[in-house]
Every structure is written in structure tokens, then in C-alpha cells.
Structure 1
């Protein structure tokens, strides 16, 4: 009996020790957030979300993880914002001009179109963090649209090309009447300029081009267009475009989810977003350079400069649209005037302080004749 009691006591002690070790381990199971994009798995935007997830994982020591889901994984691609607001998803990784149908003000939080008041991506980030933009962004989602979200700026997928064309274009007259794939507010602006716009998701562009049902298309440019395969149908590629000269994407997370995170996990997400902005941007530029080289050396693409008349007409059309929208939409006006005030200081000063890119570029790498 004595030996049996000793054995029983030893087993009980062992079980007690095991439970003491196991309980903290169970309590520290990592939290996983479901975040979805609206793009295919092969997109560089999906690459960015994966990088963001990796950084959050490492910064938190594995205690917070992001399940980086591609377009359509849980909800249809362009339902990610509502999915996050309703907690079907924990977060949405996209760009705010996609929500133009909810309110034209949405486009302003993507610095689109035309790089608002000439701001490049860094200027825009400055407005977000130093000019009150982040507060306006969250006021827009939470109070204007009544969406239970918290948003932050993410990657800068620009500058984007004017597009791909089945034939050369030399001026605005050539541009008019062409049936071209465009989306969102850009489609409205180009329609005002005389283009016959067709709205379709990215996955439908190449088949439409192959069938000849569209004459031209805007997607992104560089590596994204190479992956989509537009060069296999059309050989005239024009840059730059003003419609997305300096766009910035967003990371939107359900507000209840955000509020439930401990402060150090919130800071991890903020820091990972900032790092993703910089690291992805640098990689994106190199990928685009490689793609541009491949277009010409392997696929016979004509890389051409967009007729200035087209971009000038676009800027004028946007200014007219924005002025009209500000006159009837108080919140649009509030955001637009905030951006104007910030840009009025930063853009002229930057133009004065920064040497034109072409000065050194032309010295070391003179432009080739087209």
C-alpha cells in the first residue's frame, strides 16, 4: 500500500507539473487575422500582403499572424471592405478608389487621380501622418460611410502607365472614340474626354483584347502588365499617365478586432505597414525595370511617351470634376482642401529643393530615340 501511495503521489505530481507547463503554452497560442486582397495570387499586391504578414509574425515573436488571402478566397474581390467591416474578414488589403461607388471622396485617400495637387507618394504619406490625413481617413470610413473600420496607408503601386493600344496615338483626337478598359473615377474622366470606356476586372482584359472587343487597356504597367500578358496582344505601350501617377494603397482592419489587440500588436501592424511600403516599393521599381527591358528585348514592344495633350486634358478634366464635387459634397471638400493646404507648402518647396530627375538620368543614361 505504501508503494502504491508513493506511485500515486508521483503520478499526481507529474500531472500537476505537466499542466503547469501546458497551461501557459495554451494561453499563448498565436492569434490569426484573416486579411484578403482583391487581386490574384500572382499579383505583386499579394506579394506585399505576404511580406506584411511575415513582418508582423517576426515582430510579435509569432504571437500575431496574418493569413494573407488572395482575391475571392472568402468573399468576392470587391467585397473585401464590407467583409472586413462586418467581420466576415478581419481585414482588407486594397486601395480606396475601389470604393468610389460608395462615395467619390474615397478616391482622395488613394492620392488618385493625378497625384492630388501634384503630391507624390511620399508627399501623400506626409499628409496622412503630418497633415491630419489619417484622422480624416478614419472619420470617412467610420462616420461618413458608417463602416466599422480602421485604415492605414500601405504600398504605393505607381506610377501607372497610360496603357496598351492596338495602334499608335499621336494626340487627343486619336484617343477619342477608342474602346478602352478603365475603372472607377478614371473611367468617368476618360469618358468626359471622349474615350469609349469599358469597365471590367483585370482577369477579363486579355481575353477581351484577344477577341478584339477592346482597343486599349490600362492595368498597372511594368511587371504587373507582363504577368497579365498584355504584351502578347498589343505592342504599343504608352507612359506616363496622370490617372494614377502616385497612388497609395490601404490596409483596413475591423475596428472591433483592432481594439481587441494589445497595444504592442497594434504597433507591430503599424510598423509592418510602413516597412512594407518602403521595401515593396523598392522591389517594385526593380521588377518594373526588368519588365520594361523584357518588353523590348524579347517581345518587340514599342515603349512610347504619352502625348502631352492627353495628360494635360486629363488634369483639366479632373480639376473640373473635383471642383464640382467639392461644391456639393461637404466631406469631399473638407478632405480636398486639407490636401490642397498641405500640398501648397510641400510641392513647391520640393520642386525648389530637389534636382529634376532628368538632369542626372540624361547625363548618365541619355534617352533613346523612339
Structure 2
């Protein structure tokens, strides 16, 4: 029997070698602007995209997802991607409002009554995607391309130690809030600051901030905000339709063959909608847990706060159109 078994064994070895996973054609390192998290968080959105690319490409494009701070600080991922320190980033345009107010209508804030279907339609059929890449490359001088991937809105208006009953109660606080909310509330008289997500709870524990807005629901529960604050307030109008984006270094993007480019875009679109529906489920469960297990009280945002925000926003919008040609270009589109 030996003359028979040896060839069979050899063939089996060769067959096994033939099915061994081959090295990826392209390997990227991409960093998020947030820490790791579980189901329903921004981190899950990131890893969902990474897994989709891996499966669709049959391993030809491998992406290593890294948490905020792994290579560069959370707010430096745009420049790091542009300079090829990292190959890409999972982040949010509101972090760049100091460079151009066009980040607001390109990604979040009061969007003229749009819901996510409307906004997605503008991105893919109304020139929004093209405007976004032009803005990054021409206005910000960043060597990147962008894909919408993380629809995490509408968002709540944060966490508080006491019930907020009026605009007067609210405007005396030192509040952590992102992007448009930060700019508008500061203009309206609130002391608003912007911190990376991982720094919010430590800042609250040290008394550096009085209140904080992050995302709401599951993301806030995972960060443990209920251990410091017992009141959470909604709705907000600062991020009704808010979309985090996926940045890729343009040279890395240009080096991909057409089929892998199509796979990256398809994975981003799939992640956008599949994660969005899952996010709402986890948010509902998270709010129930906050109330029933952690004694959190949900309060409705006083109308005076919403009115004060919109009044300040309307004034700023006129100013920003005069100061930033890209802000006007995006709004006019």
C-alpha cells in the first residue's frame, strides 16, 4: 500500500498549499478618531467596513483598523492621512470647522429639512460627493478622498448633573460639544469646548466640564456618562443629519485597480445603511438600560434652548457665507 499512500499524501500536501491564504495585494493602516467600542458604536461602524472590504475583495485589500491615538492624536488624522503617516482615517468633518465652515453643510447641522434619504441623495446624485473631495483637496489642501460611512443622527443634546429647565440654566454651563454645536453655542453665550470622545469622562470627573454631548444612546452608555451625570436631554438641532466620513490618502486610492475601488465604495455604502439601522436598535436598548438600571432621567430640551440655537445659527450662516466661499458654494448646491 505504501506506493499508493505516498502519492496521495503528496497530492494532499500540494492541494493544501494551493489553498493557503495568499498575501494581500494591498495592506493599509487606518486610524479612527475614537476608542474601541462594542455593537452600535462608531468603532463597530469602522470594523464593519473593514470586514466588508476584506470579504468582498477575497483578502486582496487588508485594512488594519486602529483606535484613536494609536499613531496620531484623534484630531490629527486628516493631516496624517494626507501626509501618508497613515493610509486612511475613520473620522468626522466637524473636527475641521476651524479650517472651513463648509464642513458644516457637508456633514452635519441644520440641513434645510433633509432626512438621511435626502442627504444621501444629494451626496450621490446632487454633486455632494464631488464637492466634498474638491473641498478637501482645494480648500484644505489635503491629499485625500472621502466616503460617507457613518450616519449617527439625529443626536441628543447631552448629559447634565441637574435638570435643565430653561436657556438661562443652560448658558451658564461649560459644555463639551462637537462641530456646529460648539460654534453656535459659543456665539450664543455658552462656554463650549471640543474634546476627543475618550477625554470627555476624565474631564467630567476632574470638574473641567459641567456637561457633555457626544452621540447619545449606546455610545454614551459605553463611555459611562451615567456614572457622572443622571440627566440626559433630547432633542438637539446641532446634528440632525450627521455623517462621519472615511478618509483615504489619494495616492493610495489612485494605486488601487478599478475593481478594488468599486469594492471600497460598495463596502462604505453597505456599512452606511446596515449600521444605521442596527444603531437605532442598540440606542433603544441603551436608553432602556440607562433608565431602568442606572437611574438616568430623560428630559425634553426646553424650546428656549432650541430657539436660541437656531437664532444664533441664522446670524452666523450669513457671516460664514461672506467669509468662506466654500460654505456658500455647498449651501447653494
TM-score by length of structure 1 reads: 0.81
Counterpart CA distance in 1 for 2:49 and 2:231 is 35
Q: In the TM superposition, what is the alpha-carbon distance from 1:51 to its structure 2 partner?
A: 0.9
Matched, 1:168 2:163: yes
Q: Which residue of 2 aligns with 1:277?
A: 272
User: Structure 2 matches for 1:183-262, cutoff 5 A?
Assistant: 183-262=178-257
In proportion to residue count, which structure has more helix? 1
Residues 60 and 320 (structure 1), Cα distance of their counterparts in 2 relative to 1, 3 Å cut:
same
Per-residue CA deviation, residues 17-47 of structure 1 (Å, 9 max, x unaligned), is: x9xx99xx99964321111111001261111
Counterpart CA distance in 2 for 1:198 and 1:63 is 42
Residues 27 and 300 (structure 1), Cα distance of their counterparts in 2 relative to 1, 3 Å cut:
closer
Counterpart CA distance in 2 for 1:37 and 1:237 is 26
Higher relative contact order (CA 8 A, sep 6+): 2
Counterpart CA distance in 2 for 1:204 and 1:256 is 32
Q: How many residues align structurally?
A: 317
Counterpart CA distance in 2 for 1:198 and 1:91 is 26
Residues 271 and 193 (structure 1), Cα distance of their counterparts in 2 relative to 1, 3 Å cut:
same
Q: Which residue of 1 aligns with 2:105?
A: 108
Is the CA contact 1:175–1:194 (under 8 Å) kept in the aligned structure 2?
Answer: no
User: Structure 2 matches for 1:65-76, cutoff 5 A?
Assistant: 65-76=62-73
TM-score by length of structure 2 reads: 0.90
Matched, 1:48 2:45: yes
Residues 164 and 26 (structure 1), Cα distance of their counterparts in 2 relative to 1, 3 Å cut:
closer
Counterpart secondary structure, 1:75: coil
Q: Aligned match of 1:292 in 272, 287, 294? A: 287
Q: Which residue of 1 aligns with 2:61?
A: 64
Residues 209 and 74 (structure 1), Cα distance of their counterparts in 2 relative to 1, 3 Å cut:
closer
Q: In the TM superposition, what is the alpha-carbon distance from 1:184 to its structure 2 partner?
A: 3.4
Q: Aligned match of 2:80 in 80, 83, 87? A: 83
Q: In the TM superposition, what is the alpha-carbon distance from 1:209 to its structure 2 partner?
A: 2.5
Per-residue CA deviation, residues 256-315 of structure 1 (Å, 9 max, x unaligned), is: 111110000000000000000011111111110111000111111111111122112212
Is the CA contact 1:113–1:318 (under 8 Å) kept in the aligned structure 2?
Answer: no
Is the CA contact 1:97–1:108 (under 8 Å) kept in the aligned structure 2?
Answer: no
Residues 27 and 222 (structure 1), Cα distance of their counterparts in 2 relative to 1, 3 Å cut:
closer
Structure 1: state its 5+ residue gaps. Answer: 1-17, 339-370
Alpha-carbon RMSD across the aligned residues, in angstroms, is 2.1
Residues 206 and 29 (structure 1), Cα distance of their counterparts in 2 relative to 1, 3 Å cut:
closer
Tell me which structure has the larger Cα radius of gyration: 1
Counterpart CA distance in 1 for 2:197 and 2:71 is 19
